[in-house]
Every structure is written in structure tokens, then in C-alpha cells.
Structure 1
Amino acid sequence: MLEAQNASYPGWAAAKHLVLTMGNETDFQIIEDEILELSRRFRIMSVGYDPWQSTQLAQRLRAQEIEMVEFRSTTANFSPGDH
């Protein structure tokens, strides 16, 4: 990882909380393969995805009977709720 877009990414990657792909673009085949491997080992309840650039991934995983839940990367979704 040459330059992280988020200061937390290097730590998350080191802790194996992120799947890294080579290059400047996300390799969705690697992500799909990782999710399918995890689904063989664990009972996955659902996978959240942002439809921006990952709708095809979601469709392919749904075809494998993995529950996909749309979660858009918006400020509102990443902000604390009203109290």
C-alpha cells in the first residue's frame, strides 16, 4: 500500500480487517473469492455493500445465496444517530 486514502487503512490491513488488492483499482474478483471462502467456513448472516461500483459483485454473491444489504458510503450513514 503506497498511500492510504484513510489513515486507519494500514492498521486495519495489518490486523487482517481489510482485504488488499494490487493496483489503483479494487479487484472485485479477489473480494468475491474471499467472501465465498469465508461463507464455506462461517454462517454469514449478511454482507453490506456500497452499490457504487459493486452492484455486479452483489448480484454474483446473491446468486451464491449470500444475503447482500445495500449500505451507501454517505456522511449520514457514518455519522452518529440523533439522541
Structure 2
Amino acid sequence: MQELTYAGKNATFAVNVKKAEEPAPEVTLESITFSRPTKTEYRIGEKLDLIGLVVIAHYSDGSYQEVTDYEVSGFDCMEAEKRQLLSVT
């Protein structure tokens, strides 16, 4: 109990002292997962169709969130190749 005196009057009140809380650990990106777009085969000249592509960011605290502000590169609609490797950034 603590005692407070002011102008000759006294009052008491309880004070609890707690240990300082540890700061929350910094949350960092641990990995990403994705589902492939519905369309994966194209003819020369067709535009890339990303319908069905879902990108998920996974964080160190166990949370996850869909990423919507990504860019896809590496697609060349004029190049007939058996396989193209695309990058999502």
C-alpha cells in the first residue's frame, strides 16, 4: 500500500508492480505458396491469363495472407517453347 498526503489529508492506495513484458518478436516472411492459374497452355500470340493464380505469404508468427500486388514476368507469347519459367515478384 502506498500513502499519499496532501494538505494534511492522507489517502492510501494499492500499487502493483509487474515485470516488463518482452517485446513481440519481429514477424518475418518465411515462405510463399501458390495455386497455378487455370490456363497453362497457350498458342502463339495469346495473352497470359492469370485467373486461378493465388499467391499466399506465410509469416514467422504462423499467420498467412493472400498477396494481390504481385507482378509476373518471363512470359513470351511470341516464343513457341515447350515450357516457360515464370517469376512472381
The bucket for the TM-score relative to the shorter chain is under 0.3
**The structure with more strand, counted as a fraction of residues:** 2
- The normalised TM-score by structure 2 is 0.18
**The structure with more helix, counted as a fraction of residues:** 1
